[in-house]
Chain A
């Protein structure tokens, strides 16, 4: 009896799946060809409740970032080649040591409340955000600026409330003096943390965090907590990326499968990323509504160099392990081809990206892998483990990588699951990883140094495996002292090539943004930071 009944339910589920496929399949583009565009149409987007108040320097997670980026415009922005474009700034020019940067603003820019955007709006905002007492999670972004330690001391109260490195010259001009010259500092300026704030903000940061007033392409209309954030087009916007739609409805979803269902049935116009459970069928469900784009993020597995196993390891062993991983096949079977096998340590879409810096060591070659590991004296204990967090879908690929290594080299390999990301981080921070751990990095700013210096430099916060290589550090120092950003990027590529001789991380895949859009909109695209580009989206007339 039970068998018969469950068979019926399976049948219903199968019908449901077939039906979903049928209505998702193609033909939308032709149907839309003669639909008219409504310049005031609203784009809806599956978002979630921002974690923090909507203050630019206090927003790190995706839900808040999406909102902040729509409401605020920074000095500069970047395109998909990793080149800097001017937004609120007329020009950003360094002196010859890249130490003093002069920023000239465009005239006529206004905040949503009508207040003019001046040099003071930027300088005050940055000083406020850098101040340790204002508890902004992104304040370390200002640490390059001279006088940061005065407002953000390691211990105790700040000595001053202004950084000595920021000087207002006139209404449209200010200078930024850095503690040390950095040729690519303007790349960092693209991050929303460097947004300007209106003068009212400093009297009531909480109120403005609830009802942010920015200078960006959209204005806040309302924020109903855990329900939706409504944004409308800023008609006075002076920037190059004026919105082609009437506004955005950022709907709060609790799960990505719920959002995905709404996307398939055209109840929401787009979503951040298709859930893993739907990767196998999203192309059939969405047809030509599917979106697949480069996303500057990379996955690696890193050896913990503080362990006995890897402390004095011959690099050949690590190179061999890397060659034992069949990245292409795992991509096909586990990720349904939605990622791209990595050939370097820097993700695509950033300045200075160069393919194949990893060379043959990132190509699958089981014979050579075995030989290299033998030459290097073998893996101590002949066994490795890969630590991952089980609350996100990592298990499948970790198992696949392990099997690949086992088959190619005979080295025992197993996943080391931690219940969730918090637990995983704790083990990493306490330096108790047993062998290797999975890691990933999404760009902060589109420059290759971000993937190198901030992850593998000796003693930097992102280097959790205690990796240290003097040659690499010297190359980084040289790159940071370069005269121009292009030169610096080139020198960083040299530093990246040095990683092939030390292998602090085994590159696995570059991520891609896998999403989709509804039949009601066109030109839905995502930037290389994985965030949607709303201003270009056009909404069809209903």
Chain B
């Protein structure tokens, strides 16, 4: 087990270097000049641009820029922004706590309700409640997230006044509830459907018949035998989703005025701020890698037949 984890962690190093290099190169291929962008639509000042480039090392050849960046990264230095000359790390430490909160809230929401609905529908398959869950999830899946976001903002924020339509303080958990629900709703539908299918399938398995024949109470059958065995596909999905929730919140963050990573990334892209883009993506890559590792380890917990050596 320990060796397996160590090997997986070591594998992250080449993946990490590969992705940062790729993103670094891709940002540089994008048309547009981040230094000239400081002047907006006015003509930039060449003398000033030359000095700014020199100070930020942007006049060096690309490979040298990348090595400098990697060197800085190893010392925990994510570089400096071109606009405003602020440390990228500061901007990231402002944005990440917000997005992690939002992501985790959405994740909890989808996990709890998704599993609940899924189990309910799977156990009562063919009944009204099963049809109800199927229809509900189908509806959520077919509505694009920005429609759901804007409509719920109008209904619960502007019309009913239950919550403020926009998030005023991005660190306040209470204000993040609505955005988190919107963000997590699509995944909730998927989790519910995956759980339902998996449970419906396993309910006919031999070990289930044995458990029922042994006279175990219904609650124990569902939670210990049925659910645990049915969770593997769900956990796989959840593992990749936790990254997606933090990384893919651009639209939701925009609608509800949440100052998170999605917004930061969006602005950085518009201004071609390479150092911010690479920094954020690097963290995302790490989150994905760790989440995947966690999923693989969870398999062993859920299914004792799976062993890692």
Interface stretch (choices A13-21, A85-93, A379-387, A523-531): A13-21
Binary B-proximity of A267-282 (CB < 8 A = 1, otherwise 0): 1000000000000000
- List residues 32-84 of chain B with CB under 8 A from any CB of chain A: 32-33, 36-48, 50-52, 55, 83-84
User: Which listed residue (B47, B154, B254) contacts A132, Cβ 8 A?
Assistant: B47
Q: Do A20 and B154 have beta carbons less than 8 Å apart?
A: yes
With most chain A CB atoms within 10 A of its CB, the pick from B154, B165, B256 is B154
| Beta-carbon contact of A137 and B39 below 8 Å | yes
Q: Return the CB mask of B128-143 against A: 1 if under 8 Å, else 0.
A: 0000000100110011
A190 close to chain B: CB less than 8 A: no
Q: Is B51 in contact with A133, judged by CB distance below 8 angstroms?
A: yes
The answer to whether B255 and A258 have CB atoms under 8 Å apart is yes
Option from B33, B55, B257 in Cβ contact (under 8 Å) with A258: B257
Interface size band for B: 35 or more
With A5-B135, A422-B31, A422-B33 in contact, is A19–B40 under 8 Å at CB?
A: no
- B259: interface (CB < 8 Å): yes
Counting contact residues on chain A (CB < 8 A from B), the size range is 35 or more
Asked if B38 contacts A137 (CB within 8 A), the reply is: yes
Flag the segment in B166-174, B219-227, B299-307 that touches A. Answer: B166-174
A16 touches B170 (CB 8 A): no
Segment of B4-12, B156-164, B210-218, B233-241 engaged in the interface with chain A? B156-164
What is the 8 Å Cβ interface bit string for chain B, positions 176-192, against chain A (1 contact, 0 not)? 00000000000000000
Interface flags for A1-37 (1: CB within 8 Å of B; 0: not) read: 1100110010011001001100000000000000000
A255 close to B (CB within 8 Å): yes
Residues of A within 8 Å of B31, CB to CB, are 418-419, 422-423, 426-427
Indicate the member of B157, B164, B255, B257 with the most A CB atoms within 10 Å. B257
Most buried by A among B158, B166, B168: B166
**Docked CA distance A462–B269 (Å):** 25
Question: Which residues from chain A contact B151 at a C-beta distance below 8 Å?
Answer: 9, 12-13, 16
B155 interfacial contact with A, CB 8 Å: yes
Judge whether A154 is part of the interface by a CB distance below 8 angstroms: yes
1/0 contact trace for A253-272 toward B, CB 8 Å?
A: 11101110110110100000
Given that A12-B151, A139-B45, A422-B272 are contacting pairs, would A60 and B40 also be in contact in the complex, using a CB cutoff of 8 Å? yes
On chain A, the residues within 8 Å of B39 by CB distance are: 60, 137
A422 to B40, CA, bound (A): 9
B258 interface contact, C-beta 8 A:
yes
- Which of A225, A258, A259 is packed against the most chain B CB atoms within 10 Å? A258
Q: Are A254 and B258 in contact (CB under 8 A)?
A: yes
Does residue A119 face the partner (Cβ distance < 8 Å to B)?
Answer: no
The reply to whether A257 and B255 contact each other, CB–CB distance below 8 Å, is yes
Q: Beta-carbon contacts of A406-450 to B below 8 Å, as 1s and 0s?
A: 000000000000111111011101000000000010000000000
Given contacts A261-B166, A422-B272, contact A254 B43 (CB under 8 A): no
Q: Are A258 and B94 in contact (CB under 8 A)?
A: no
A251 proximal to B (CB < 8 A) = yes
Asked if residues A135 and B164 are in contact (CB atoms below 8 Å), the reply is no
Q: Which residues of B contact A255 (CB under 8 A)?
A: 254-255, 257
A52–B99 Cα gap in the complex (Å)?
24
Residue-wise interface mask of B (248-280) relative to A, using a CB-CB cutoff of 8 A (1 in contact, 0 not): 000001111111000100000011100000000
Interface centre among A2, A61, A137, A440 (most CB of B within 10 A): A137
Least distance between B44 CB and chain A CB atoms (Å): 8
Q: What separation, in Å, do the CA atoms of A259 and B260 have in the docked complex?
A: 17
Report the Cα distance A251→B257, complex, angstroms. Answer: 11
Given A52-B83, A258-B257, A391-B270, A155:B41 Cβ within 8 A:
no
What residues on B are CB-neighbors of A254 within 8 Å? 253-254, 257-259, 263
The answer to whether residues A137 and B259 also contact, given A261-B166, A265-B158, A461-B43 and a CB cut-off of 8 A, is no
Which listed residue (B55, B159, B259) contacts A16, Cβ 8 A? B159
> A239 within 8 Å of B by Cβ?
no
CA of A201 to CA of B34 in the docked complex: distance in angstroms? 27
Q: Are B139 and A5 in contact (CB under 8 A)?
A: yes
Question: A284 → chain B, closest Cβ, in Å?
Answer: 15
Q: How far apart are B90's CB and chain A's nearest CB, in angstroms? A: 8
- CB-CB contacts below 8 Å: B92-148 with A: 94, 135, 138-139, 142-143, 147
User: A132 and B169: CB pair below 8 A?
Assistant: no
| Measured CA separation A460–B256 after assembly (Å) | 43
In the complex, which residue of chain A has the Cβ closest to the Cβ of B150?
Answer: A257
**Pair B36/A137 contact, Cβ less than 8 Å:** no
Closest B residue to A5 by CB, please name it: B139
Q: What is the minimal beta-carbon distance from B130 to any residue of chain A, in angstroms?
A: 15
How many angstroms between the C-alpha atoms of A267 and B30 in the bound complex? 38
Is B195 located at the chain interface by the 8 A CB criterion?
Answer: no
CB atoms of B51 and A140 under 8 A apart: no
Of A19, A136, A225, A252, the contact of B159 (CB 8 Å cutoff)? A19
List the A side residues contacting B52 at CB < 8 Å: 135
How many angstroms between the C-alpha atoms of A1 and B42 in the bound complex?
A: 54
CB distance from A78 to the nearest CB of B (A): 19
On whether the beta carbons of B257 and A226 are closer than 8 Å, the reply is no
Set of chain A residues within 8 Å of B37, measured between Cβ atoms: 422
What CA separation (Å) do A50 and B267 show in the bound complex? 12
Residues of A within 8 A of B47 (CB): 132, 152-155
Q: How far is the CA of A467 from the CA of B37 in the complex (A)?
A: 24
Asked if B254 and A258 sit within 8 Å, CB to CB, the answer is yes
Which B residues are CB-close (under 8 A) to A159? none
B43 to nearest A CB, angstroms?
3
Q: A51-B83, A154-B46, A425-B41 are in contact. Are A253 and B51 (CB under 8 A)?
A: no
Which residues does chain A contribute within 8 Å of B259, judged by CB atoms? 226-227, 252, 254
CB distance from A443 to the nearest CB of B (A): 12
Q: How far is the CB of B47 from chain A (nearest CB, A)?
A: 5
Distance from B102 Cβ to chain A, minimum over Cβ atoms (Å):
13
User: Does A53 interact with chain B (Cβ within 8 Å)?
Assistant: yes
Asked whether, in the complex, the Cβ of B254 is within 8 Å of the Cβ of A53, the reply is no
> Which residues does chain A contribute within 8 Å of B159, judged by CB atoms?
16, 19-20
- Nearest-CB residue, chain A, relative to B250: A254
Rounded to whole Å, the gap between the CB of B146 and the closest CB of chain A is 10
- B153 interfacial contact with A, CB 8 Å: yes
**Could you list 13 A-B pairs, sorted by A, with CB under 8 Å?**
A5-B138, A13-B151, A16-B151, A20-B159, A50-B84, A60-B39, A227-B259, A258-B256, A261-B153, A421-B270, A423-B31, A426-B32, A427-B31
Q: Supply 13 further A-B pairs (C-beta < 8 A) apart from A225-B94, A257-B150.
A: A5-B142, A9-B143, A13-B154, A16-B159, A50-B84, A135-B51, A137-B39, A140-B48, A258-B254, A258-B256, A421-B41, A423-B30, A462-B43
Residues of B bordering A, CB below 8 Å: 30-33, 36-48, 50-52, 55, 83-85, 94, 135, 138-139, 142-143, 147, 150-151, 153-155, 157-159, 164-166, 168-170, 253-259, 263, 270-272
Kindly list the 7 A-B residue pairs having the minimum CB-CB distance in the complex, ordered from nearest: A422-B32, A461-B43, A258-B257, A423-B31, A226-B259, A16-B154, A426-B31
